[in-house]
Amino acid sequence: MIKRLIGIAMILTLAAGLVFAAGQADTASAAKPIVLRLAETHGADYPTTQGDYEFARLVEERSNGRIKIEVYPGSQLGEERAVIEQVQFGAIDFTRVSISPLAAFSPDLNALQMPYLYRNADHMWEVLNSKIGDDFLDSMEDAGFVGLSWFDSGARSFYNSVRPVKSVADLAGLKIRVQESDLMIGLVESLGAVATPMPFGEVYSGIQTGVIDGAENNWPSYYSTSHYEVAKYFTLDEHTRVPEITIASKLSMDKLSKEDQALIKQAAKDSMAFQIKAWADYEKVAEEAVRANGNQVDYLDDNSAFQAAMQPMYDALSPELKAVVAEIRAVGK
């Protein structure tokens, strides 16, 4: 009897050992997933962040779970300029940013955010989806980035807490927050206002405490940040259409196989349609909410005075960028 029990105990121990060994073999063969981080300034519900999640979902699905992209919304990894620097030296793998602050690192991008450059949204998309857009995505390697895809960001307009703006003269002397971008500083100054560069996350308190009088952004950001609560005059002058871009760190991408790099690039492109749809939906929600709040929304009778004031910005472009601007303007004509 004792012998039999010992025998059974031995068999059980052996079996447990085998199961354990099999378990170990399993973990060894299913390699640990590659985990990469993406920084996003907007909150989780914002349409652009939704686009980031879609990008991450496609990468995970197409790599059968081998590559996971963790999205960090709400500026958890820092404000845009600081994040871009970290992407440059590989501490953060991806970010989705506005091209305005990115142009400080890759100046040619300024050609894509000139005031009143595009005739309308369709024109901008035709440009971004053409060879011009692809060339720009490829142009950032020297700065340490791999351009992946474009997202929608509507048109940017001025808002402030002081007075309705219906003409260039109404902007005179207003302290307007701009992104950390030389082009945006020049744009606001060309209209006679005082440009104050400041991170996105500081704008609400800046307006509330009177450090600045206002800022400029699209309907979704005006609403999602609650800037509309402290700056109730919104003028739809639509001075710029500034594409959003998703970039990867070249250092991070270089560590991946060519196949995985291609998979990531394709997934980023394929997430665009999702974001563009989410954007259109949220733009309406934001506009309705702002109007329901009783904000004063003004239109310009025509924007020729705004355009004329900004013409020197075009004159100051390098011959190369003047040529790119001419090429952009010719698209679809």
**Interface ranges with ligand BDP (CB under 6 A):** 41, 48, 80, 97-98, 153, 179, 200, 217-218, 221, 244
**Helix axis angle, 319-330 relative to 131-138, nearest 10°?**
140
Least distance from C-beta 229 to ligand BDP, angstroms?
17
Structure-block tokens of residue 155: 């048109």
For ligand BDP, the closer of residues 240 and 249 by Cβ is 240
Least distance from C-beta 17 to ligand BDP, angstroms?
55
Torsions phi, psi for 93 (to 5 deg): -85, -40
Least distance from C-beta 66 to ligand BDP, angstroms?
29
Q: Is 211 helix (H, G, I), strand (E, B) or coil?
A: coil
For ligand BDP, the closer of residues 218 and 252 by Cβ is 218
User: End-to-end alpha-carbon separation of the chain, Å?
Assistant: 95
Query: Whose CB is nearest to ligand BDP?
Result: 200
Least distance from C-beta 146 to ligand BDP, angstroms?
18
Amino acid occupying residue 272? M
Amino acid occupying residue 105? F
For ligand BDP, the closer of residues 98 and 190 by Cβ is 98
For ligand BDP, the closer of residues 69 and 286 by Cβ is 286
Structure-block tokens of residue 84: 């871009």
For ligand BDP, the closer of residues 190 and 221 by Cβ is 221
Least distance from C-beta 317 to ligand BDP, angstroms?
23
Nearest to 282 by CA among 243, 204, 224: 224
Distances (CA, A) of 149 to 102, 121, 244: 14, 16, 8
Place of tokens 């011009």: 132
